[in-house]
A and B are shown apart, each in its own frame.
Chain A
Amino acid sequence: MRPMTPRGFRDVLFAEAREREIVAGAVSEVFASWGYDPVDTPVVEEDSTLARGAGGELERAAFRFFDLDGSLLALRPEMTVPIARVAASRLADGPGPHRIRYVAPVFREHASLRGQARQFTQVGVEFIGASGPAADAEIVLMLLGALAATGLSSYLVGIGTGEVLRAVLDRAEGPADWQDAVIAAAQGRNLVELDVLADRAGLDPEFALALREVPRLGGGAEALERCRELAAACGCEHSLDGLSATWRLLDALGETDRVRIDFGIMRSFAYYTGMQLEAYAPGLGLPLAGGGRYDRLLGAFGAPAPAAGFALGLERVMIALAEEGRTPHLEPLDAVLGGHDAAAVLAAAARLRAAGWRVRVAPGVAGIALVREADEAAAAEALLAEAGTVVRVDRAGEVAVPLGDPLPVPPRRTWAGRGEAR
């Protein structure tokens, strides 16, 4: 029997791995340009950390296991809780705010036969120790910058807030289980159930109207205005102040073309408060990115601080790029370098690498075999190391012209993308 990867896990090879590296690198570069520093955390967390931080759907999705000491551990199902744990422990005494970025595999358990991956890669940021419209705008702008850097041409960022619905519920004075049901219906995007719950006897009509209409509201400034009217009728228009101010900032910067207000965004992760955001590519049935503000999460770890962030799902971004035919261009290998003397081959390869070449060595290979090996590697050149010099080999495997001294620039710099240049 041939060995296989476990269900929902897979190997990433060569071209795909390089394409992922390029996209993750381009996004990380955007985060770095905003002054965010990288952090690595263990793939394993104490289960109790996860339970205190994430709760809800995320906690249920975690892979768990016991170690030899009998501690219950979990593979991280996302990165916000691990980063919050770091911030609340190792960074708690340092001056904030902290700007953190990461590229990290995360793990989620899924039932079989649903075609779901159990490991995927998140590329994201967490901005800890700052709140207010400017901090929220920083998060939205970085998501826009990251999406542009991936090379995608059509995408959309949705921003919303769960605060309005919560404020309306607070003032509606319904029983706790009814309030929970309303939040669950909004998070589960069950608008039919929301209408049923809004029909509760004794609920004032302005509250019923807000419960029905707010989760359906989306668009630009007019959606904000309508939401303000609905909230004002319930005496809680201030629940919208933060999002309105963030929108005005983005608008003043001319950055609202690809941003849509959407009060239907109620991410089911228990830790979100305030602004929440998602990114979409048309025709792709799941969000490319998600995140938001989680001002109470660090408090659960004993070091209260406001915080916000988001993560892009690298696999989803790669699918969206492939759908658009915009998968990043891979630079070809510059040369395969053969020759009869291994020492001469390795020495010549060192000189070529120093000149910026990407070279695969093939000691002991020459002639037509060398040409074939260069073809298989899709290399731009087949070269031969010979008596202290490097010479080109032509299609017939014959020695052609010397490469010259100093060595020329690597072919991929001049003939980028034309594999048949040789």
Chain B
Amino acid sequence: MIARRGGTDRGSDRALAGRPLRVALPKGSLYADSVALFAAAGCDVTGLADPGRQLTVRAGDIEYIIGKPTDIPIYVAYGAVDAAIAGKDVLLESALDVVELVDLGFGACRFVVAEPEDAERPVAGIYRHLGVIRVATKYPRITEAHYAERGLQVEIVKLSGNIELAPLIGLADQVVDITATGRTLSENRLRIVDEVLASTARFVANPVSLKTDALRVTGLASALAAAAAR
């Protein structure tokens, strides 16, 4: 599938050159750091600090699209936006074709495997008797890859949120979730038993935008990389 951005372009090279670069930013935990980084990189971020209910903000040469984090890889891969900031976790889970240009360093979190601290039946015992562990997660692809690497048979239950609840209500033996500090997990009496992977925010681009709009995309990538390194 290809996004049809259409409308004003109408094919003339001049019209295309005058088009703003379209960049998607993720709502939620990465948003404030993303805006701060664009500002530090010298971009106009007027209107981004408090966009209210607005989902698109035009500032200078960039049209910002504010999206749900898990949707951002889709925007980029299908060419609806030229570039974006997205967490490595979301990128891995989407398994879509985007160019990963810069590791921005912020938004660090870990994917971990956790299980109840005071499990009546230890997970190892369950596995020995039932031959399969039930795992709840928001990230089925990453979870599947992790257990496959460990050679463990699992049944994956995909949930949309409050993953830490799943073991408490008997829905799962373990969970795979992201954590920055581990607090939510410990407050729900879950302990971390394995590390899956570490994630940070990345600057990514659509593969074709990187070719047809190379100067602006790589220019922005360098500016962001320099700002992130400061």
Residues of A within 8 A of B (CB): 114-117, 152-154, 156, 158, 189-193, 195, 216, 218-219, 260, 262, 264, 278, 280-287, 316, 319, 322-326
Contact = CB atoms under 8 A, between A and B. Distances in A.
Contacts of B210: 264
Interface stretch (B41-49, B95-103, B114-122, B178-186): B95-103
B89 to A, nearest CB: 14
Contact of A319 (B2, B12, B100, B214): B2
B70 to A, nearest CB: 13
27 contacts: A115-B78, A153-B13, A154-B16, A189-B98, A189-B99, A190-B100, A191-B102, A192-B100, A192-B202, A219-B214, A260-B214, A264-B99, A281-B212, A283-B79, A283-B212, A284-B2, A285-B2, A285-B78, A285-B79, A285-B207, A285-B208, A285-B209, A287-B208, A319-B2, A322-B4, A323-B11, A325-B11
Nearest to A110: B1
B206 A192 contact: no
B155 interface: no
A153 B13 CA distance: 8
A278 B207 CA distance: 11
A154 B11 contact: yes
A323 B4 CA distance: 7
Interface residues of B, number: 36
A193 B78 CA distance: 22
A193 B101 CA distance: 9
Contacts of B5: 283, 323
Contact of A325 (B10, B13, B99, B101): B10
Given A116-B1, A191-B101, A192-B103, A286 B6 contact: no
A356 B187 CA distance: 83
B80 interface: yes
Interface in B1-50: 1-6, 9-13, 16, 19
A285 B77 contact: yes
Nearest to B202: A192
Counting chain B CB atoms within 10 Å of each CB, the highest count among A156, A193, A260, A280 belongs to A280
Contacts of B9: 282-283, 323-324
Contacts of A286: 2, 78-79, 207-208
A398 B85 CA distance: 68
Counting chain B CB atoms within 10 Å of each CB, the highest count among A153, A154, A260, A282 belongs to A282
Given A154-B11, A195-B103, A324-B9, 12 more contacts: A153-B11, A189-B207, A192-B202, A264-B210, A278-B211, A282-B16, A285-B78, A285-B80, A286-B78, A316-B2, A323-B11, A326-B11
B33 to A, nearest CB: 17
Counting chain A CB atoms within 10 Å of each CB, the highest count among B11, B12, B210, B212 belongs to B11
